Structure 1
């Protein structure tokens, strides 16, 4: 990984001639993404993210924190102890420059020996899982990091709407994927291309069934306007 996403975040934070990120997926054409969006204030966040943040309690782990906007907002609350993690070295550098007290370069799949009351996975939190077949291990690791009575707040979208209907009114879905929410994500920044990234959009029923199979309770907390939703997982 060239860490182009992190580089864009750090360029924006340090005012080092930041440019838009170019994103392209296996089911959508190239699109521009302004890095400034990752630095949004609480008022600028979607309702689903605002609701998730309002539910945070106790010791909080913000997984895939990016530019750290969620953690930055939460750490203003003296009742919360916030840890922000990301695999991007440059993104964590930017988080520290922004004033996040506990920001670490870490892959949460390797995290052990700590427990959290709230685990946040926002901005399509299921994406990090990558593939549907990895979901049981993904959920098992999240469960291992939860304190008794803890909660995982995770959002995603059901992207079935992006596929064409066939003559019978069903959806035509490419057969090379095990599940229609599995996509490949490509990022370009300042003329460089990142290695392709597996990314998972998960419909709520599939998440609920996988959670149940792993001894985790799930609750649909909120649905957005664009097939997106916020769920709470607990055990």
Structure 2
């Protein structure tokens, strides 16, 4: 993203200049709000899915797309060796200001990171793939970051419910959509808009098939009340 909308907003909040939230616009014709206080939530305010994921972390941890660093900060306080990764300069600056020790500014595909026991992708972190056709590239990159017996913990959502029902009782999905979980977003903050970017929501069956194709086992760990789930991926054999 050329404009660091997220990082600018996070820095404002951390520095006591909170006056508004981030507005998101999506290709699903939805306008929504991303409340900045939620991105700084303490462990007690985290949903059950996130608490479950944090409890399952082991060894060295890479928090991919760390944002304001709330998950990494909790893990660090519990004694974990955790590294934050985000391509937002502002997000990394906030993580540093909050006391997180190990930081890396850059993209998942390009950063020189080493290997880890746990790769953490929360808040639909697998969405960074953007489109389903890129999932093999992302999975192969994640595999290269895993130690033997390591794990990938990720959550996503099946967003089929967001599409309208047709006369036959099925869901109406536009014909030009390769996969219904591919969504295009724009973010706005203080009258500045980001460039449009793609984000991927994966239903569990699609995630499982893609993982299997890429030599990863896939285990469903938790299902929420609103189509969200937590999964664990690990190297086969």
TM-score (norm 1): 0.97
Q: Does 1:101 align with 2:101?
A: yes
Q: Which residue in the other structure is 2:208 paired with?
A: 208
What displacement does 1:103 show? 1.6
Aligned pairs (5 A) from 1:97-176:
97-112=97-112, 114-176=114-176
Distance (Å, rounded) in 1 between the aligned partners of 2:81 and 2:113: 16
Aligned residues, how many? Answer: 234
User: For residues 225 and 120 of structure 1, do their structure 2 counterparts lie closer, same or farther at Cα, with a shift above 3 Å needed?
Assistant: same
Query: What SS class does the counterpart of residue 142 from structure 2 fall into?
Result: helix
> What do the CA deviations read for 1:101-142 (whole angstroms, capped 9, x no partner)?
112202111234611000000001221110000000111100
Bigger Cα displacement from structure 2, 153-162 vs 167-176 = 167-176
Question: 1:137-180, CA deviations, whole angstroms, 9 ceiling, x for partnerless residues?
Answer: 11110011100000000000000011111111111001222100
Q: In terms of mean alpha carbon deviation, does 110-119 or 50-59 score higher?
A: 110-119
The runs of 5 or more residues in structure 1 that have no matched partner are: none
Distance 2:174 2:116 in 1: 39
Separation of aligned partners in 1, 2:101 and 2:89: 16
Q: Please, what is the CA RMSD of the aligned residues?
A: 1.0
- TM-score, normalised via structure 2 length: 0.96
Structure 1 counterpart of 2:47: 46
- Partner Cα distance (1:112, 1:86) in 2: 13
1:24 aligns with 2:25: yes
Which whole-Å CA distance do the structure 2 matches of 1:136 and 1:172 have between them?
Answer: 27
* Unmatched 5+ stretches in structure 2: none
Which digits, 9 at most, give the CA deviation of each residue in 1:45-85, with x for residues without a partner?
Answer: 1111110000011000000000000000000122x210001
| TM-aligned CA deviation for residue 224 of structure 1 | 0.5
Q: Conserved in 2, the CA contact under 8 Å of 1:163 and 1:171?
A: yes
Q: Find the residue that maps to 1:96 and give its secondary structure.
A: helix
